[in-house]
Chains A and B, each alone.
Chain A
Amino acid sequence: MNRADQRAVLLRFLESIRKPDRPLNDLSDDDHLIQSGLIDSLAVLEIVAFLEQEFGVDFAEGGIDPSRLATINRILDLVAQQRA
Chain B
Amino acid sequence: MLLGAATGPITEPLTGRRWEPDEVRRQVLHRAAGLRAGGIRQGNRVLIGYGNCLEFFADLLALWTVGACAIPLDARLTPFEIETLSRAARARAYIGLGDVDADLTRKLEALGTTVMLSDAIGAEPIDPALPVPPYRLDDDALILFTSGTTGNPKGVVHTHRSLRARWFSLRGHLGLEKYRRTLCLLPTHFGHGLICNALFPWLSGQELFILPPFTPDAVMRLGEILDQQRITFMSSVPSVWRLALKTARPPSAGTLQRVFVGSAPLSAHLWRDIQRWSGTRDVANAYGITETGSWVAGTTVGEFEPEDGLIGVPWGAVAAITREGTADAPPGVGEPCGAGDVGFVWLNTPALMKGYLDRDDLTAQCVTAGWFLTGDLGLLDDRGWLYLRGRVRDEINKGGAKVYPADIEAVTEQFAGVNDLCCFAVDDPHYGQNVGLVLVMTDPTPARLRGLYAWLQAHLAEHQMPVKWFLTDNLPRTSRGKISRDRIAEVCKGLSPLDLRAVLGGAP
Contacts and interface: CB of A to CB of B under 8 A. Distances in A.
Interface of A: 15, 18, 20-21, 23, 34, 41-42, 44-46, 48, 59, 62-67
13 contacts: A18-B501, A20-B500, A20-B504, A21-B457, A41-B215, A44-B247, A45-B247, A45-B430, A59-B247, A62-B249, A63-B249, A65-B220, A66-B247
Interface of B: 214-217, 220-221, 223, 239, 242-243, 246-249, 399, 430-431, 453, 457, 500-501, 503-505
B263 to A, nearest CB: 15
Nearest to B224: A63
B457 A63 contact: no
Nearest to A16: B501
A20 B221 contact: no
Given A21-B500, A42-B239, A65-B220, 18 more contacts: A18-B501, A20-B500, A20-B501, A20-B503, A21-B453, A42-B243, A44-B216, A44-B220, A44-B243, A45-B247, A48-B246, A59-B247, A63-B220, A63-B223, A63-B249, A64-B220, A66-B220, A66-B221
A42 B500 CA distance: 19
Instruction: Name the 3 nearest CB pairs between A and B, nearest first.
Output: A63-B249, A20-B500, A66-B217
B247 A21 contact: no
A45 B215 contact: no
A64 B248 contact: yes
Contacts, number: 53
B248 A23 contact: no
A83 B311 CA distance: 45
B246 A21 contact: no
Given A45-B430, A59-B246, A21 B216 contact: no
A66 B504 contact: no
B449 to A, nearest CB: 10
Contacts of A42: 216, 239, 243, 399, 430-431
Nearest to A65: B220
B457 A41 contact: no
Contacts of B220: 44, 63-66
Nearest to A20: B500
Contact of A63 (B247, B431, B500, B504): B247
> Do most interface residues of chain A lie in helix, strand or loop, or is the interface mixed?
loop
A63 B248 contact: yes
A64 to B, nearest CB: 4
A46 B431 CA distance: 12
Contacts of A59: 246-247
A65 B216 CA distance: 11
Given A42-B243, A44-B247, A23 B505 contact: yes
A48 B247 contact: yes
A73 B334 CA distance: 63
Contacts of A64: 220, 247-248
A14 to B, nearest CB: 11
Nearest to B505: A23
B246 A45 contact: yes
A67 B247 CA distance: 12
A15 B223 CA distance: 31
Nearest to A67: B217
A60 B249 CA distance: 8
Contacts of A20: 453, 500-501, 503-505
A67 B214 CA distance: 16
Nearest to B223: A63
Contacts of B248: 63-64
Nearest to B247: A64
A18 B467 CA distance: 11
A15 B215 CA distance: 23
Contacts of B214: 41
A45 B217 CA distance: 12
A62 to B, nearest CB: 6
Nearest to A37: B462
Nearest to A42: B430
B216 A41 contact: yes
Contacts of B217: 66-67
Contact of A66 (B216, B399, B430): B216
A21 B216 CA distance: 22
Contacts of A41: 214-216
Contact of B504 (A21, A44, A48, A65): A21
A63 B220 CA distance: 7
Contacts of A63: 220, 223, 247-249
A37 to B, nearest CB: 9
Nearest to B430: A42
Contacts of A66: 216-217, 220-221, 247
Contacts of A34: 216
A45 B457 CA distance: 24
